[in-house]
Structure 1
């Protein structure tokens, strides 16, 4: 076999990135956009010693799990890797992905994993669920200004105004931004030359409040003729906040450190309707959050309520407990914990997020929260070293909740958690591979995994959120 050869494959399995897996003559091939059960002709794109990569040329027989995607760009765009797969099969794929990582990377027994894993939490309608979108701005080959998403594994922009995962309002907003740029001769940023002004358009939408935020990320200190942009955007129903974010670095990081509001508020407000919460029981109101351009806030409101309900349930709070919430963001989980705990201590590296967390706690009437700026792997060890001889509930909490980025918890952070010996640990993860790695460390340190449940926070992609409860073995 050689590169560019056409081969016939039966897709018998799925890889962790959603690619179909088939075998021929002892060689395993990974095929993007193929669905388990497909019979296909594929063109070989890369060959290794015992495996290779290929792309679909023709579907000879469609899988019973293949479905017609709503987005015609799903194969070109890098966002929806498994949109062509039946949604029920997507959920099965994601639940198995979590289980397999716990066995393969965490070293847990397969039967044990089956016994502690609860059914995945899916969506009723797995489209139009994202409350945030970040559109790169550039030019096509004819020099036209475009907005869209990067093609898979590239920085080549595919024009997209109406992503089926995002809200319909995105199209009108992008039309206004591109119209402004054309009229005022505003150049998009060019990664190769470092020239041009507008890099990205960040859009946030409050699903409950219907408030809209638009933030243009710019390679400069100001936005020329910004009044023209404001005039075009402010007439859109729900427009609440228009700002610019300054990012003049040669980097793939989207947002810079400085954001300046040019119209309206510097934030939008939204609610999470978690009914198993003292605040709701007491006031009948959901918890409200101020969300700024740089805030971390879960992108799927419907599933976030389910995710945080699980985290709260797993924490097992009775009203007296002391809780640490590591990687707390703007205090989303912290405030739900605070409604049923004695005291909650949150840690987050982004100063603006901590400012938002304090503001959110105050506005919602919580006086039993305290927030610290810094890396969890630095704040927690430093605090423990300084107070390790004291008898304080901060030093020996009842529960520690962690919700780290995809890279998982830092080794130093895990070491300190084990030293603090909480009765329970609730681990909220967006990457089951690093979750499995960290659970192995915690299990070896004296904790037992009691419950695991995946939540489909990112329908039509291969990503999956997961909540895990660990309990100290000597309890």
Structure 2
């Protein structure tokens, strides 16, 4: 295969970044915007020995899974929605297959076991979010089934300047830092558009410069917006390459007129980095947090808090984890990578005692505060790396209890994409919990860790995918592992 070859390809799979995958005479091509079932004409842009990258030129035969017209006109340009052009029922089938395939291929889980224990993927249902009318209209979207939009309670918009010198907000094009101007992302809540247009007009009027990433000049880098789905409270935080926002009182006066506005802050980030947020928060108006609920548990959320972006599906995910934990009120539970205590506080309602571990000190402060405002007294939280805190606790317990081993009835883990370190997994095995509930945002590392635990005396009992991020390739998974009688 050579660069600039034009080839006909049948798309057979989707890659980790949402690109279509097909083969021509055994040679693998990755093609953005192509979908499983498409037959396309593509131009090879980069050719390596065993695989290459091509650009979609023409759809010769459209996949049955493809919508006629994506609801968002920016769908192909923007890097956010990798599979918005796929019908939602097909997205769910793809994600369930992805989880199953990784557990089978990487985790070594037998097909017949997965057929027995895999539960249907949990998708979003009509009416669960405040969909904009045009996007929710399946006929306009060209879909044969429901398409969920407006599900994100958080959005971070980079601020830049276009070629005409106008200040813009939007999202980065795929694999670049080029901003696609768009104040009306249909994954976010409709009020985002009003907030962004207010800020952009203010910046134009008072000649406030956007940040230039290459030159490390300008002031406004990003705008963070959070929305409480249950409370309707709104947070706006401007991330600055500086300490102060000129004429801040003018912007505050305009933003506070928006119904639900609760918190207006600035975040200082003067570092030359791709990291969006700095450590310092300055209050301009209102309070430094908003509140929201998952189920009947109340949370205070600051600009720096980690909080799941899809509250509708988060409730389903946490209820699933609670169901898998199968608590009776007598159990000691460890929740590793607990964040601001979201899962911990769910578990504490049914457990005897919960211990949460998280590396970010502010998150632990938030977790303790969230326990307090909910009147939950059977949850304790520790700052540190889970892969250090739990093994150290296990060793120290034996020293102070005449060699007796520390025990947990249930251990819940919700690690980052890299999964759990082997030392942590070994400590989990040593503590001999009856059940391990593993919540994962990456089914590949989940499968790797499941393989380790299965080899150490645990068997996979339940698996279920939860679609936290419709129109993207990402999927959350919850699994239950039970200790075998050794």
Q: TM-score, normalised by structure 1?
A: 0.94
Residue 440 of structure 1 deviates from its aligned partner by 1.6
The aligned residue for residue 417 of structure 2 is 406
Aligned length: 463
The aligned residue for residue 117 of structure 1 is 118
Instruction: Say which SS state the counterpart of residue 291 (structure 2) adopts.
Output: strand
Instruction: Say which SS state the counterpart of residue 440 (structure 1) adopts.
Output: helix
Task: Determine if contact 2:397/2:405 at 8 Å carries over to the other structure.
Answer: no
* CA distance in structure 2 between the aligned counterparts of 1:395 and 1:180, rounded to whole angstroms: 58
Pair 1:84 & 2:106 matched: no
User: Higher mean Cα deviation, 23-32 or 191-200?
Assistant: 23-32
Change (3 A) 1:159 1:272: same
The aligned residue for residue 51 of structure 2 is 51
Q: Equivalent of 1:156, from 158, 178, 181?
A: 178
Q: Equivalent of 1:432, from 440, 443, 446?
A: 443
Task: Determine if contact 1:99/1:114 at 8 Å carries over to the other structure.
Answer: no
The aligned residue for residue 457 of structure 2 is 446
* CA distance in structure 2 between the aligned counterparts of 1:418 and 1:229, rounded to whole angstroms: 55
* CA distance in structure 1 between the aligned counterparts of 2:182 and 2:401, rounded to whole angstroms: 57
Residue 348 of structure 1 deviates from its aligned partner by 1.2
Pair 1:294 & 2:316 matched: no
Instruction: Say which SS state the counterpart of residue 30 (structure 1) adopts.
Output: strand
* CA distance in structure 2 between the aligned counterparts of 1:59 and 1:252, rounded to whole angstroms: 36
Instruction: Say which SS state the counterpart of residue 404 (structure 1) adopts.
Output: coil
* CA distance in structure 2 between the aligned counterparts of 1:156 and 1:291, rounded to whole angstroms: 30
Instruction: Say which SS state the counterpart of residue 288 (structure 2) adopts.
Output: coil
Task: Determine if contact 1:16/1:97 at 8 Å carries over to the other structure.
Answer: no
* CA distance in structure 1 between the aligned counterparts of 2:425 and 2:220, rounded to whole angstroms: 40
* CA distance in structure 2 between the aligned counterparts of 1:150 and 1:245, rounded to whole angstroms: 21
Deviation string 1:325-374 (CA, Å, 9 cap, x unpaired) is 11111111111100000011111122221111111111111111111112
Pair 1:382 & 2:392 matched: yes
Instruction: Say which SS state the counterpart of residue 18 (structure 1) adopts.
Output: coil
Task: Determine if contact 1:120/1:456 at 8 Å carries over to the other structure.
Answer: yes
Residue 143 of structure 1 deviates from its aligned partner by 2.1
Pair 1:357 & 2:358 matched: no
Pair 1:183 & 2:205 matched: yes
* CA distance in structure 1 between the aligned counterparts of 2:355 and 2:116, rounded to whole angstroms: 32
Residue 80 of structure 1 deviates from its aligned partner by 0.6
Residue 235 of structure 1 deviates from its aligned partner by 0.7
Instruction: Say which SS state the counterpart of residue 356 (structure 1) adopts.
Output: helix
User: Higher mean Cα deviation, 364-373 or 307-316?
Assistant: 364-373
Pair 1:329 & 2:339 matched: yes
| Uncovered stretches (5+) of structure 2, i.e. residues with no partner | 127-147
Q: Equivalent of 1:135, from 157, 163, 168?
A: 157
* CA distance in structure 2 between the aligned counterparts of 1:114 and 1:391, rounded to whole angstroms: 44
Instruction: Say which SS state the counterpart of residue 350 (structure 2) adopts.
Output: coil
Task: Determine if contact 2:398/2:405 at 8 Å carries over to the other structure.
Answer: no
* CA distance in structure 2 between the aligned counterparts of 1:382 and 1:300, rounded to whole angstroms: 34
Task: Determine if contact 1:347/1:376 at 8 Å carries over to the other structure.
Answer: yes
Pair 1:366 & 2:376 matched: yes
The aligned residue for residue 94 of structure 1 is 95
Pair 1:20 & 2:31 matched: no
Change (3 A) 1:244 1:412: farther
Pair 1:318 & 2:298 matched: no
* CA distance in structure 2 between the aligned counterparts of 1:76 and 1:248, rounded to whole angstroms: 29
Task: Determine if contact 2:151/2:187 at 8 Å carries over to the other structure.
Answer: yes
The aligned residue for residue 71 of structure 1 is 72
The aligned residue for residue 29 of structure 2 is 29
Residue 391 of structure 1 deviates from its aligned partner by 5.2
Residue 199 of structure 1 deviates from its aligned partner by 1.0
Instruction: Say which SS state the counterpart of residue 196 (structure 2) adopts.
Output: helix
The aligned residue for residue 244 of structure 2 is 222
* CA distance in structure 1 between the aligned counterparts of 2:395 and 2:192, rounded to whole angstroms: 49
Residue 83 of structure 1 deviates from its aligned partner by 0.7
Moved over 6 A (4+): none
The aligned residue for residue 272 of structure 2 is 250
Task: Determine if contact 1:322/1:394 at 8 Å carries over to the other structure.
Answer: no
Residue 253 of structure 1 deviates from its aligned partner by 1.2
RMSD, matched Cα? 1.6
Residue 394 of structure 1 deviates from its aligned partner by 10
